Amino acid sequence: MRTADIRSRFLDFFAARGHTVVPGAPLPAPDPTLLFVNAGMVPFKPYLTGEQAAPWPRATSVQKCVRTLDIEEVGRTTRHGSFFQMNGNFSFGDYFKEEAIALAWELSTAPVDRGGFGLDADRVWVTVHHSDNEARDIWRRVAGLPEARIVARGDEDNFWSMGVPGPCGPCSELYYDRGPAFGREGGPAVDEDRYTEFWNLVFMQYERGEGSGKSGYPLLGELPRPNIDTGMGVERMATLLQGVDNLYETDEVRPVLDRAAELSGTRYGADRQADIRLRVVADHVRTALMLLADGTAPGNEGRGYVLRRLLRRAVRSMRQLGFTDPALPALLPVARDRMAPGYPEAADGFARIADQAYGEEEAFRATLKQGTTVLDTAVAEAKAEGGRALSGAQAFLLHDTYGFPLDLTVEMAAEQGVEVDREGFTALMNAQRERARADARARKSGGAGGTRALRALLDEHGPTDWRAWDTLDTQSAVLAVLGAGGPVPAATEGEIVTVVLDRSPFYAESGGQESDAGRITGASAEAEVLDVQRPLPGLITHRVRVTAGELATGDSVHAAVDPEWRLGARQAHSGTHVLHAALREVLGPTALQSGSSNRPGHLRLDFPWRGALSATARSEIEEVANRALRRDLPVGVRWMTLPEARALGALALFDETYGEKVRVVEIGGAWSRELCGGTHVDHASQIGTIALTSQSSVGAGTRRLEAAVGIEGFAYLARERDLVSRIAEQLNAPRAELPERIGALLERLKAADRENARLRTRATAARAAELVSTAEDADGVRLVTTTLDAGTDEARALALAVRDRLPGGRPGAVAVGTTGGTVVLALDEAARDAGLSAATLVERLLDGRGGGSPDLAQGGGVPAGRMSATLARLPRLLARH
d(CA 283, CA 879): 51
Tell the CATH superfamily of the 566-715 domain. Threonyl-trna Synthetase; Chain A, domain 2 (3.30.980.10)
pTM: 0.60
pLDDT at 449: 46
Residue 673, judged by CB atoms within 10 A of its CB (0-12, 13-18, 19+), counts as: buried
d(CA 201, CA 41): 12
pLDDT at 446: 44
pLDDT at 411: 66
Cβ neighbors of 90 (< 8 A, separation 6 or more) are 19, 41, 44, 47, 48, 58, 59, 60, 61, 227, 228, 229, 230
Digit-coded pLDDT (tens) for 831-858: 998 889 998 899 888 887 777 888 999 9
d(CA 874, CA 212): 62
191-200, 643-652, 675-684, range with the lowest pLDDT: 643-652
What's the whole-number mean pLDDT along residues 775-793? 88
What's the whole-number mean pLDDT along residues 215-244? 92
pLDDT at 682: 94
pLDDT cut 70: percent of the chain above it:
94
SS3 sequence, 631-664? Answer: CCCEEEEEEEEHHHHHHHCCECCCCCCCCCEEEE
Tell me the average pLDDT of the chain.
88
Alpha helices in 110-177 (DSSP H): 133-138, 155-158
What's the whole-number mean pLDDT along residues 378-390? 75
Domain residue ranges in the chain? 3-249, 254-436, 445-561, 566-715, 764-879
Length of the chain: 881
CB 96 within 8 A of CB 203: yes
**Multiple choice CATH, 764-879, 3.40.50.11900, 3.10.310.40, 3.10.310.10, 3.40.50.980:** 3.10.310.40
pLDDT at 528: 95
Q: Work out the pLDDT band at 152, boundaries 50, 70, 90.
A: very high
Digit-coded pLDDT (tens) for 441-477: 555 444 444 567 888 888 889 999 999 999 999 999 9
108-112, 397-401, 503-507, range with the lowest pLDDT: 397-401
What's the whole-number mean pLDDT along residues 818-837? 91
Q: Is the pLDDT of residue 761 over 90?
A: no
pLDDT at 444: 47
Digit-coded pLDDT (tens) for 77-98: 777 789 999 999 999 999 999 9
**Multiple choice CATH, 445-561, 2.40.30.130, 3.40.50.970, 3.30.70.20, 3.40.50.300:** 2.40.30.130
d(CA 286, CA 256): 8
Can you say whether the dihedral through the CA atoms of 69, 72, 74, 78 is positive or negative?
Answer: negative
pLDDT at 315: 92
DSSP 613: P
162-176, 409-423, 631-645, 804-818, range with the lowest pLDDT: 409-423
The dihedral over CA atoms of 281, 286, 289, 291, expressed in degrees to the nearest 10, equals -110
What's the whole-number mean pLDDT along residues 542-571? 94
pLDDT at 437: 54
- Coil, strand or helix at 249: helix
Q: Is the pLDDT of residue 301 over 90?
A: no
Beta strand spans in 357-461 (E):
389-390, 419-420
Give φ, ψ of 869 to 5 degrees. Answer: -65, -35
SS3 sequence, 764-819? Answer: HHHHHHHHHCCCEEECCEEEEEEEECCCHHHHHHHHHHHHHHCCCCCCEEEEEEEC
Q: Which of 239-253, 406-420, 638-652, 695-709 has maximum average pLDDT?
A: 239-253
Q: Work out the pLDDT band at 45, boundaries 50, 70, 90.
A: confident
| Of 404, 401, 397, 383, nearest in space to 425 by CA | 397
pLDDT at 88: 96
Paired sense of beta strands 525-536 and 518-522, if any: antiparallel
- State the fold for domain 3-249: BirA Bifunctional Protein; domain 2 (3.30.930)
d(CA 303, CA 739): 41
